[in-house]
Amino acid sequence: MIEEDVYLKKLELHTNEVLKKNIYKDLNIRCCPTCGSEIYIKYGSYKGIQRYQCKKCNKTFSNTTNSLWSYSKKNPKLWIEFLELMIEKKSLRFCAEKLNINLVTAFYWRHKVLHALTLDSTPDLLRGIIYINKIIIKENFKGCRNIEVSAKITRRKNIWILAAKGQEDSMFVQPIFKDFWDWKIFYEKIYSRVEKNSHIISYGDRYLSLVAQNITKSHLPR
């Protein structure tokens, strides 16, 4: 007798497995995530995902190790939907209700996404037409277990987050300043990565507009 999958559950499981394979099939492994050694060998596969063994510490790892959904029981499709909602600037409560997940889970996922951005989106060089923008948010201590609350703290500081996208889809997204713009820090962390004679589009911000007017590094204000 032919078994019928009325609710297409098996098809959904198959779709999630194929999605995960396609995302990680061309991923380039640089080093062992445990010890940092660049000497490793292929060590079979698990559910179509390539595994490796480090020749220095003998630990095994795969293309999904330390990924966004490593150790997550939720399927990749749900993660992608969560990322789309983040891009649309939806609240955590909205995301949790929309995806039918716990609010605490949504909070934890957002931290994983922001942490992954700092690891994977920092290029060595930005070149060509460079789009750069900023957002200022208030300092947030939610989820910090070891923070020492002082009676002298009267306000939360402003955190400046800068994003820069180069011509080759290279992107830089990181919190840079606290409270005030600092030319020295900007030069060290962002402008030093800009290739000479690149064209910067600043979206009208007064600080970034000044940067755009000084395309060559020698004219950058200090």
Domain housing 152: 129-219
Residue 208 lies in a domain: yes
- pLDDT of residue 107 exceeding 80, the answer is yes
Number of domains making up the chain: 1
Residues in the chain: 222
- 164 in any annotated domain: yes
The predicted structure's pLDDT at residue 123 = 66
| pTM, entire model | 0.49
- Residue 22 within a domain: no
Give a yes or no: residue 25 inside a domain.
no
Residues 6+ apart with CB under 8 A from 211: 132, 186, 191, 200, 202, 220
Whether residue 200 is contained in a domain is answered as yes
For residue 47, the model assigns a pLDDT of: 72
> What count of Cα atoms within 13 Å lies in the side-chain half-sphere of residue 210?
10
Q: Looking at this protein, which amino acid is placed at residue 106?
A: A
Least confident of 4-18, 54-68, 94-108, 208-222: 4-18
Residue 176's pLDDT is 85
Residue owning tokens 């990924």: 67
Q: How much is the pLDDT for 102?
A: 92
Q: How big is the CA angle at 120 (ends 215 and 125), to the nearest 5 degrees?
A: 25
Question: What mean pLDDT is reported for the chain?
Answer: 74
Report whether pLDDT(35) > 50: yes
In a domain, 149, yes or no: yes
Q: Does 94 map to a domain? A: no
- As a whole number of Å, the CA-based R_g of the chain is 22
Cα–Cα separations (whole angstroms), residue 54 to 24, 31, 37, 39, 130: 19, 8, 7, 6, 38
Give 142-160 pLDDT, tens digit per residue: 655 554 554 445 567 888 8
Q: Would you say residue 83 lies in a domain? A: no
